[in-house]
Structure 1
Amino acid sequence: MTKVLFVVGSLRNGSFNHQLAEKAEKALEGKAEIAYLDWSQIPAFSEDAEVPTPASVQAARDAVEAADAIWFFSPVYNYAIPGSLKNVIDWLSRALDLSNPKGPSILENKFTTVSAAANGGQEQMFAHFADLLPFVRTQMVGDFTAVAINPEAWATGELVVTDDKLVAITAQAEALINAIKQI
């Protein structure tokens, strides 16, 4: 079965982007096996820390290797990708053979897509992803989906995703599955 790795860019318990990922998981039900990347222990990137590979980084690489595609769910921090999530991508984009810095990484040719639950700045952040993901040699798939956080969510902790956004998430899921099937 097709395997999709979800990378949620917020580690907060009950994060709105994790709730959005759960909606996407439902859209992929019966079509793909879903795993969530635990990146909570990945250190700040430093070339000094690459050898030996930190266990948390190796576990992340193993999860990426097992996946056919990666779906990022990202909050917006100052109109950009959160630094902590960018750090994960930096680690994963490093060449597997450090003697050849331009050699393949674990991200090489992985299908990727992005969704965001936020109130503003999604388009700017999506532009960052649109520059970054091809640069780290992934294959972007489908349209990115932006979901506004409903005002009451700040009090209730519950993200409400409108029907039109659920349709967009479903279309994004289908585009990802279709891209994988074509290889």
Structure 2
Amino acid sequence: MKNILFIVGSLREGSFNHQLAANAEKVLEGKANVSYLNWKDVPVFSQDLETPVLPAVQAVRDAVVAADAIWIFSPAYNFAIPGSVKNLLDWLSRAIDLSDTTGASALQDKVSTVSVVANGGHEQVAEGFRNLMPFIRTQFVDQLTFSKVNDSAWADGQFVATEEVLSDLNKQAEALLSALN
């Protein structure tokens, strides 16, 4: 089975995007192995921090390299890719061997896709990812899932995916798996 690494773009405990990722994990059950990237200790990118490679950066690189694909679950912050997610992708897109800055990164040719849970800005965030992911040399699967946050979640913290969202997740999972074969 293929290994798919989930990157949850909200580091908040119990985030709505993490809850959507849990739904996607169920969709992939028996079809792929799923793991979640722990990236909370990755610092703000600075070339001054590139060498020697920080343990937190090495850990996320190793996890991405070991995966067959990455699936990002991202909120929309001000109708854009959250700065924290972009920061992580900036680190991952840097050449592993800095003696050749155009060389392969941890993301090199990695199959990738994105889902977004937010109350607005879905298309703007999607457009940002559609431009960014191929530029940083991933093989982007442009079958995305978007969801608004159900009203009750703001009170009880429980994200509820609609049948349409669950159907979209199934289609997205199939497209991702198809791109891996």
Q: Same fold (TM over 0.5)?
A: yes
1:112 aligned partner: 112
Alignment of 1:125-136 (within 5 A): 125-136=125-136
Which AA in structure 2 matches 1:62?
D
2:93 aligned residue: 93
- What are structure 2's unaligned runs of at least 5 residues? none
Cα distance in 2 between the residues matched to 1:57 and 1:31: 29
Where in structure 2 are the equivalents of 1:14-53 lying within 5 Å?
14-53=14-53
Task: Give the AA of the match of 2:30.
Answer: G
- The TM-score with structure 1 as length reference comes to 0.97
For residues 100-130 of structure 1, what are the alpha-carbon distances to aligned partners after superposition, in whole Å with 9 as ceiling and x for unaligned? 1111111000000000111000100110000
Report whether the alignment pairs 1:166 with 2:166.
Answer: yes
Matched, 1:68 2:68: yes
Aligned twin of 2:10:
10
User: Percent of pairs identical after alignment?
Assistant: 57
In the TM superposition, residue 43 of structure 1 has moved relative to its aligned partner by: 0.5
Cα RMSD (Å): 0.6
Q: Map Cα deviations across residues 8-49 of structure 1 (whole Å, 9 max, x no partner).
A: 000101100000000000010001100100000001100000
For these two proteins, the number of residue pairs brought into alignment is 181
Q: State the distance in 2 between where 1:125 and 1:178 align.
A: 24
Secondary structure, aligned partner of 2:120:
coil
Moved over 3 A (4+): none
The one-letter amino acid paired with 2:133 is L
Taking the aligned partners of 2:126 and 2:139, their CA distance within structure 1 comes to 15
Partner in structure 2 of residue 145 of structure 1: 145
- Give distance in 2, aligned partners of 1:11 and 1:144: 21
1:58 corresponds to 2:58: yes
* Alignment correspondent of 1:155: 155
Q: Secondary structure at the residue paired with 1:4?
A: strand
Letter in 2 for 1:124: Q
TM-score, structure 2 as length reference: 0.99
Gaps of 5+ in 1: none
Partner of 1:103: 103
How far apart are 1:142 and its partner, in Å?
A: 3.8
